Chain A
Amino acid sequence: MIPLKRTLLSSLMLLAVSNTQAQPTPNIYLQGGTQPGATACVACHGADGMGLAPAGFPRLAGLSADYLSKQLHDFQSGKRVSPVMQPLAKALSDSEITSVTAAIAAMPAPAVPAINRSRMPDGPGEKLALRGAWDRQIPECVSCHGPGGVGVGSAFPPLANQPAMYLAAQLNAWRDGTRHNDPNDLMGHIAKAMTEDEIKAVADYFSTVGHKEVKP
């Protein structure tokens, strides 16, 4: 149901995007922005927008345009820190951000199994994802990021199919306070209560959550 809708929507939006490409609007994802510093996204995030796992470059395909736009603006202002992304984001204009985030949001997202809270968790990563650790006020990851970590709305990005290295790096950044651009410290507060082992386990879990299910 979801993937079908998404695919339809994605195709429609791709059509819309390719239509606008007939106009002078360049394809920023593939070609970069007008300023020289605005390197093409494809170089690190891949032709399919699935990132580059061994380098920890995140998946972008299918992420909410509003979420992506907020991140790029936060990179511009320094609210979110990344030596790679900050100069890049600063080289993008507002209209380029609008255009590229819409294009990325329309890229097909991988199918995520709707792993619900009623499932019996298998291993510490899945246990944290489905049960949380309420003795430390850590909610179930899926209670905000959705079943299987599929992502919810514009404030709760997908965790599913993100490289484990990226997820762990972000959780560590939330934990040590170097990342703090979340609404009302919701994620920072939780990450600060997590242990190193939990971060590793839950990052591994969500990086492969889509893959485990297809095994016979």
Chain B
Amino acid sequence: MKCLLLTCTTSFLLSGAVHAATIAMEDQSQIKVPAPAEHITYFQPPQQSELPDNAYGKMVMDGYALFVDTKRQAPQFVGNGLNCTNCHLDQGRLANSAPLWGAYPMYPAYRKKNDKVNTFAERLQGCFQFSMNGGTPPAADSREITALSTYAYWLSTKAPTGVELPGRGYPDVPEPKGGYNLISGAALYKDQCAVCHGDNGQGQKVGEDYVMPPLWGKDSYNWGAGMHRINTAASFIKHNMPLGKANSLSDEQAWNVAAYVNTHERPQDPRLVEGSVEKTRLKFHANDGVNVYGQTVNGVLIGQGTE
């Protein structure tokens, strides 16, 4: 066991170094976001009442519908029970909830994730492939990508291009000094999250459709999604959860519960290398923030996927 752990640690360190050496550029789409300053005025996206009654206005509304009702509007591209708006609150408008107006003007950008310059369309395809666990994503010129891009463009009306606007992404939450604690995370989950997301992270449905999103299991985001990183989930949770009570948890609570959620099994990383969790960990997870993919937690190998 000890030997195995040591091997893991060593390979982790080694791979970290090796992987880092191959990356020449910063990931421009995952730039560190500082904690929000007090009394900040955020960018204000336009109101729907300002939309023109023409083909463009209709396309914006198509994108809006896809954004808030993704599973039902684009079932062939959504392999789980999620909608875009589950992780981008207020229809992609809310500051510190990865608003579309904070993302759209930052593309094209280099992404470490696929080691190339990505267009916004490619970024959206990534969302479908990983966060929505949707298999082959819609084509760059498809109805779905066109409508969502148009919606994002409209929300960014009068936003400067290539400027990191305050409120973009999920602002970083510092990791607790002693690391995260899964037992405290489980207790907090039971106390504050289970009422909506269920005792087993399964979410809650009305009929066939999820109302509260599943946080792990076969209908949640897969192991390749950005949200699988504990640091990213902690940032999202701190600034957005529980719904309507943003910033009510401490940094430590956000980390603990994020770690609790993200040590549960979820759909496999679609980039799985030669069927090997370990090879996939080395290639895609060893240098990707704080995550437990391919690690052993409480005696169980994490990252085996669902089904």
Give the interface of A toward B (CB within 8 A). Answer: 1-2, 5, 114, 116-118, 120, 131-132, 134, 137-139, 142-144, 146-147, 150-153, 155, 183-186, 189-190
B73/A118 in contact, CB under 8 A:
yes
Closest 7 CB pairs of A and B: A118-B65, A134-B90, A118-B69, A117-B68, A146-B206, A2-B207, A183-B195
Cβ contacts under 8 Å, B91 to chain A: 131
Picked from B94, B208, B243, the residue with its CB within 8 Å of the CB of A143 is B243
Picked from B89, B207, B212, B246, the residue with its CB within 8 Å of the CB of A114 is B207
| B211 CB within 8 Å of chain A | yes
Picked from B65, B191, B192, B209, the residue with its CB within 8 Å of the CB of A147 is B209
CB of A187 to closest CB in B, whole Å: 9
A116/B72 in contact, CB under 8 A:
yes
CB of B27 to closest CB in A, whole Å: 29
A137/B211 in contact, CB under 8 A:
no
A116/B69 in contact, CB under 8 A:
yes
A105 to B91, CA, bound (A): 34
Cβ contacts under 8 Å, B64 to chain A: 118
A189 to B244, CA, bound (A): 8
| B242 CB within 8 Å of chain A | yes
CB of A158 to closest CB in B, whole Å: 10
User: How would residues 84 to 95 of chain B score, 1 for a CB under 8 Å from any chain A CB and 0 otherwise?
Assistant: 010001110110
A184 to B196, CA, bound (A): 11
Assess A143 versus B211: contact at CB under 8 Å? Given A117-B68, A189-B245.
yes
Picked from A116, A118, A134, the residue with its CB within 8 Å of the CB of B89 is A134
| B140 CB within 8 Å of chain A | no
Cβ contacts under 8 Å, B272 to chain A: none
Cβ contacts under 8 Å, B246 to chain A: 137
A184/B94 in contact, CB under 8 A:
no
B65/A152 in contact, CB under 8 A:
no
CB of A199 to closest CB in B, whole Å: 16
A155/B195 in contact, CB under 8 A:
yes
A132/B90 in contact, CB under 8 A:
yes
Cβ contacts under 8 Å, A131 to chain B: 90-91
Picked from A1, A118, A138, A146, the residue with its CB within 8 Å of the CB of B211 is A146
Cβ contacts under 8 Å, A142 to chain B: 211
Give the one of A5, A118, A138, A146 with max B CB within 10 A.
Answer: A118
CB of A64 to closest CB in B, whole Å: 12
Picked from B69, B204, B209, B242, the residue with its CB within 8 Å of the CB of A153 is B204
A189 to B94, CA, bound (A): 19
A155 to B194, CA, bound (A): 11
B212/A144 in contact, CB under 8 A:
yes
User: How would residues 206 to 223 of chain B score, 1 for a CB under 8 Å from any chain A CB and 0 otherwise?
Assistant: 111101100000000000
B206/A152 in contact, CB under 8 A:
yes
| B61 CB within 8 Å of chain A | yes
User: Taking CB as reference atom, which chain B residue is nearest A190?
Assistant: B244
Picked from A147, A184, A185, A189, the residue with its CB within 8 Å of the CB of B206 is A147
A144 to B65, CA, bound (A): 19
A139 to B85, CA, bound (A): 12
Cβ contacts under 8 Å, B90 to chain A: 131-132, 134
B242/A184 in contact, CB under 8 A:
yes
Cβ contacts under 8 Å, B244 to chain A: 137-139, 186, 189-190
CB of A136 to closest CB in B, whole Å: 9
Assess A152 versus B69: contact at CB under 8 Å? Given A139-B243, A190-B244.
no
16 intermolecular pairs with C-beta atoms under 8 Å apart: A1-B208, A114-B207, A116-B68, A118-B69, A131-B90, A137-B246, A143-B211, A143-B243, A144-B196, A152-B212, A184-B191, A184-B242, A184-B245, A185-B245, A186-B244, A189-B245
User: Taking CB as reference atom, which chain A residue is nearest B205?
Assistant: A152
Give the one of B61, B64, B68, B72 with max A CB within 10 A.
Answer: B68
A1/B204 in contact, CB under 8 A:
no
